[in-house]
Structures are given as C-alpha cells and as structure tokens.
Amino acid sequence: MAFAAMLILAACSTRTEQEAAQIKMTSRADTVAMQVLEATGGSEAWAGVRYIRFDFAVEREGAQRSAVRHLWDRHEGRYRVEWTRGTDTTVVALFNVNTRDGHAFVNGEEAGVDEAALLETAYQRFINDMYWLMAPTKLFDPGVTRTYLPDSSSSDTEMIHLAFAGVGLTPGDQYWIEVERNSGDVVKWTYVLQGRGARTSSYYWTDYRNFEMPSGTVRLAQRKESATAPVAILTEVHALPPSVPDELFANPEMAME
C-alpha cells in the first residue's frame, strides 16, 4: 500500500488516553510527547469523542486520487470503510476493529470468496489511514519507546524518536517527530518503514483545524505534505458527531455524509 505507515493503533482508544493522563513524566521525551497529546486536545477532550468520520486521500501534483471514506465508533470498535476500484466498483467493509469480524460488499453485493481478503485490506486501511490522522494521540500506546534527540532539536522545535517493542503490524517502523516548542503541534515527521532499508520519508503537518466538543477542543492536521516530492496525504475530518445511525455499520448501501 503506497505511503503506508502501519503502526500500532489501539482499538480500545479511550484506555490509552486514560493511561496517558495518569502517566508520570520520567524523561524529556515523555514531557514532549505529553505536550503533543495536550496540543491535540488532551485526554479529557478525546474521551468525549466517540465517532470519527474522515476521508483519506493521496494528492499528486495537485490532483487528488479517490478518497477512502472512514467511520469509526471508538467506544464499541464498529467500523465502516469505503473505497473504489477502477471507475465502476465500490467496496464497503463493515467490521469490528477489536475482533476483526465483519462483512465486505462489492457494489452492494456480498463479496463471497473475496471477503476475507477485502476485510484484511479494510483492517490495514484502518491501521494506516487512522494513524496518519491520529498519531499525536498514540505516543503513549503500549510498546512505544520514546527518546529525546537534543542534537536534532532547535530553539523553535524539539525532536523525539519513536520505536516499537514488538507491537503493531510492522514493529520495525521508526518515526522521528518534530514538535513546535510553543504550541506542541507536530510540524513534521520522518519515518523508516520495516522492510524498506534505510530509506526515509518526511512530511510536514499542516492545515490544522480545531473541533469544539463538549469535552474540550480537539485539534487535528488535515494535510501532510512531502518534503521531497509534489505529494500530500490528506486526512480530512468531516465530523466528530455525538451519534450516528446504527444502520451505517450494518447496511452497505446507506450513504455516509
């Protein structure tokens, strides 16, 4: 999958946020990571977010590819993801990210023998696409090792390195997160993916948007621009609604907004 950044993404999301709120800061890396979490809204604000509706797309030289459409129930693990194949085929997967059980549909019909492969693709899209959106909230996930890099920090930014202790789909991935000192916003990340040697990719995080929730303000970057190519990853949040129709997680033909 192009531009994959397949990391751990805790399906039971509120657990990690509660743990992060209680963690004791034992290093500068922990302090910076907590600043990043707080910049996204912090544990209290995120605890009030049940549903996330967003689109993931790749933009090349100003032209956007077809978006992958996501809807996640963070409390129960219910998930809906839609994508297109070619010009006349739409795939809808309805599953649970905790159990990975579910069903896949092609143009509204049951996928049949292709269902298992499509559900696997759907789960990988959840892991990959949601991490591009929510990585700043995942720095305290179990198995994540944080290291502060003073030689890569400056008067304006600080750098932390992330490694993973045998967790996630690709535990050999490594990330370098550049954080703005004043705001705590992620301004850039650089990563090396498992199985790709020493080749690095860097993206600037831009187009931050605030979402006012009853529990607080949630802040997310909508655009990640390549530092070396005319490519951008788009993670456009359409809504963080307090409720959605249950039918969206059961009926492939019901339209998402």
Mean pLDDT of 124-151: 95
Give the pLDDT confidence of 40-87 residue by residue, as tens digits: 999 999 999 999 999 999 999 999 988 999 999 999 999 999 999 988
In order of 107, 180, 201, the CA distances from 222 in angstroms are: 29, 17, 18
Contact of 202 with 186, CB cutoff 8 Å: no
What pTM value is reported for the model? 0.90
The domains of the chain are located at 13-249
Give the pLDDT confidence of 184-216 residue by residue, as tens digits: 999 999 999 887 777 899 999 999 999 999 999
Mean pLDDT of 222-226: 98
What pLDDT score was predicted for residue 169?
66
Q: How confident is the model at residue 165 (pLDDT cuts 50, 70, 90)?
A: confident
Residues 6+ apart with CB under 8 A from 125: 1, 56, 68, 70, 81, 83
H-only helix segments in the chain: 13-22, 28-39, 42-47, 115-134
Question: Whole-number mean pLDDT of the chain?
Answer: 90
Residue 247 CA neighbour count, 13 Å, CB half: 6
User: Which of 7-11, 94-98, 201-205, 250-254 is least confident?
Assistant: 7-11
13-249 adopts what CATH topology?
outer membrane lipoprotein receptor (LolB), chain A (2.50.20)
In order of 78, 98, 163, 199, 225, the CA distances from 173 in angstroms are: 27, 22, 7, 11, 20
